[in-house]
Amino acid sequence: MLWQKSWLDTRWRFLIGFALMTCGAVFIVTLYVRVRGLLPQLSALDPGSSELGRIIREAAELQKTYRGFIWSQWFRQTPTQTGTLFAILLGSGGLLSQGAAGQLFTLSLPVSRARLVGARAATGLAEWAAMALAPSLVIPLLSPAIGESYPFSTALVHGLCIFVGGAVFFSLAVLLSTTFTDLWRPLLIALAVAIVGGVIELAVVGPTRFGTFCVMTGENYFRTGVVPWGGLVVNAAIAVALLYGARVALEHRDF
Amino acid sequence: MADSTAGGILTIETIDLRKQYDGGVEAVRGLNLRVPAGSICGFLGRNGAGKTTTIKMLLGMTRPTAGSGRVFGLAIDDLVSSVAIRRRTGFVSDEKDLYDSMDAGDLIRFTARLFPKWRADLEQQYLRRFEIPLSARVRTLSRGGRTKLALLLALCRGADLLILDEPTSGLDPAATEEVLQALVAHVAAAEGTVFFSSHQIAEVDQIADRVAIIDKGRTVVEGALDDLRERYRRVQFVFDADAPAVPDLLAQSTGIQRVRRSGRVLSVLTNGSADAIIDRARALRPVSVDVATVTLKEIFLETVTAEDSGA
C-alpha cells in the first residue's frame, strides 16, 4: 500500500533515469563497432613517456579488449556520474517535503514512521536496483548482436557494485530529506557531498578498497577478477546506517 | 468546573498538556481536556489558540513537551500506542490535504487497505451522497469536493473517534449543512465520538453536546453544552449614578468570569450562583437587577477576551 504512494512520488524520476541509463548502455555497446574499426590505428599511437602519455597509453590499452572497453566507457563512467545523480534524485523528497500534498493525511494513517521510511527506502532501492542492474545486463544481452560476448556474471557483479555504491548516496538523500523541508536542499547537499567525495577519493587519495566510488566503478573487480566483498559490505553498512538515521530523525520530528 | 463526565468512559483525556516548539513558541500551556465516549465535542478557540497543535499531539504528529494525554486510554506520546490510536481514528485536517496525484477512487482504495474495519457500505453511501467523481484527480477537485472526499475517507475507516480540524472551513452554507448533517447521522448510527475544532460557533451550537474553549494554549471553558447554558448567567445591575468600580464583595464571589462597568451599568458574567452575587451586590443599592441566560457565542467572547484583560 505505502509503496504505491512512494512509487507515485518517484516514478517519473525512475522512468527517466532508467530510460537514460538503458539507452546509454545500448549506445556504448553499439559504439564498440566503430571503436573496433579504429583499433589497428592504436599500434601507431605514440603518446610519449610523460605522465599524460602513460595515462593515454593506459586508456588506449583498455580499448583493445571488449571487456576493457565496456569497463572504461560504461562501468567506470556513466553509473558513477549519471547513476549517482539519479540515486540522489530517488532518495530526495518524501514526507517532509510533501507540504500540503498529503503530509498530515499520511501521518494520520495507522502506520509507524519507521514503516513510512521503510516503505520509502524499499521502493527507492528497488527502483535504484532496476536502474543499476538492468542497463548492466543489457550489455551481455546485446553483445552477440555486434559479434562480441560479455559474461552475465561479470555484468551482474558490476551491477551489484553500482547498486551498493549508489545506495550510499540514495540513503544520504533520504536522511537529508528527513531534516530539510524542501526538495532542493537535500538534493543539492547530497550532490555536493558526492562531488567533493568523488574528487577526494578518485583524484586526491587514489583508488581504495572501501571507497564508495571505487566500489561503484568495480575497478578492483575488473583488474583482479575478485569480487570486492569488503567494499560492498562496508558501503552497504554505511547505507543501512544512513537509513537508520533517517528513521530516527523522522520518528523524532514534529509536524 | 463541574463536569458531568465524572465516572464515564473518556475517549480523550489530557492533563496539563504542554507543547513548546523549538523556536521557543509555547503553543499549548497546560491543557486539560475530557471528552467522553459517544459525545460530539466542539473545540473552540481563536486563531493561534493551540487547537491544531492539540489535535496533532492527540494523533502523534507532534510530541508533547510536558503533561500527559490519552486517547482510548492509550498514551499519545508512545510510538506504538499512537499507531493503535490512529487505527481507531478518522481525521480531516484543516487544509484537507490529500494525495493530489491520485484519482479519488485510487485514494479511497489506498486508504481502505490500511483500515481493517473499512466500511464499504458507507463508502458507497457517501459516494452517492457527496457525488464524488471517482476518476477525477484529487488536485482537480473543488474545495468542497476535497472536503467531502476527506470526510468520506475519515467516516469510512470504521473509526471510534473522528478528529476534524475545521471541517467546514471554506465551504458554502449548503455544503456546510450537508457535512454537519453527515456528521450527526454518522455519530447517531455508529455511536462514535467526534472532536472537532471550528471558528463557527453556530456550527458547534448546532451539533455539539460538549464544548471546550481554549485560549492561549489553556482550557478556559469545558463541559456539556446544556450544563454551560444552565450555569452561565449575565447579572446586570443598574445604579442611579455611575456604577461603582469592581467592588471587593463581588470579587470575593465564586464563579465570576467577567465584570464590565459602563456608565450606570455593572454587568457580571458568572458560572456560579447568580443569587449569591445579587445578595452580595444588594449592599451597593442598585436600582434594578436583571439576570439573563447567555449564548455560547457570548461565553466564548467573554472568556477569551477576559484572558486578554487578565480578568
Distance CA B183, CA B210 (A): 15
**Quick one: pLDDT at residue A132?**
95
d(C-alpha A202, C-alpha B65), whole Å: 47
pTM of this prediction exceeds 0.90: no
Output the pLDDT for position A41: 77
Q: Which of B22, B99, B115 sits opposite A102 (nearest CB)?
A: B99
- Find, among A65, A42, A237, A47, the residue nearest to A148 by Cα: A65
Q: Given an 8 Å threshold on Cβ–Cβ distance, is A107 in contact with B101?
A: no
B24-48 burial, b for 16+ CB within 10 Å, e for fewer? eeebbbebebbbbbbbbbbbbbbee
- In this predicted structure, the answer to whether residue B310 has a pLDDT above a threshold of 70 is no
Burial of A90 (0-12, 13-18, 19+ CB in 10 A): buried
Are B101 and A9 within 8 A, CB to CB? yes
- Each domain of chain B, given as residue ranges in start order, spans 10-228, 233-293
DSSP code, position A112: -
Residue of B52, B55, B86, B87 to mutate for A, most A C-beta atoms under 10 A:
B86
Look over chain B and give the mean of its residue pLDDT values, rounded to a whole number. 88
Alpha-helical (H) ranges within chain B are 51-58, 79-87, 104-114, 120-130, 143-155, 173-190, 201-207, 225-231, 248-251, 274-281, 296-309
pLDDT > 90 fraction of chain B, expressed in percent and rounded: 57
Question: ipTM for the complex?
Answer: 0.86
* Ranges in chain A, pLDDT < 70: 47, 98-100
**Residues in chain A within 8 Å Cβ distance of B153:** 105
pLDDT per residue as tens digits for the range B21-80: 988 889 999 999 999 998 999 999 999 999 999 999 999 999 999 999 999 999 999 999
Q: Which residues of A211-246 are buried (b: 16+ CB within 10 A; e: fewer)?
A: bbbbbbbbbbbbeeeeebeebbebbbebbeebbebb
Chain A CB within 8 Å of residue B93 CB: yes
Q: Closest-CA residue in chain B for A3?
A: B110
B21 touches chain A (CB under 8 A): yes
Minimum Cα–Cα distance from B164: chain A residue: A108
Measure Cα distances from A181 to A34, A170, A178, B60 in Å. Answer: 48, 17, 8, 19
Q: What is the per-residue pLDDT for B41?
A: 95
- Do the chains contact at A109 and B59, CB–CB below 8 Å? no
Q: Which residues of B touch A108 (CB under 8 A)?
A: 59, 61, 86, 89, 91, 93
* Lowest mean pLDDT, pick from B2-6, B50-54, B127-131, B203-207: B2-6
CATH of domain B233-293: 3.30.70.100
pLDDT for res B306: 57
Cβ distance of B93 and A111 shorter than 8 Å: no
pLDDT of amino acid B308:
52
Residue B261 pLDDT grade (very low, low, confident, very high; cuts 50, 70, 90): confident
DSSP reduced 3-state for B115? coil
User: Does the distance separating the beta carbons of A113 and B79 come in below 8 Å?
Assistant: yes
- What is the CATH number that goes with domain B10-228? 3.40.50.300
Nearest 10 degrees: Cα torsion B47, B50, B52, B56 = 170
Give the residue on B whose Cα is nearest the Cα of A114.
Answer: B79
Nearest alpha carbon to residue B111 among B123, B101, B121: B123
pLDDT digits (tens, 9 = 90+) for A192-250: 999 999 888 877 777 788 899 999 999 989 999 999 999 999 999 999 999 999 999 99
Torsion of CA A19, A22, A23, A28, to 10 degrees: 160
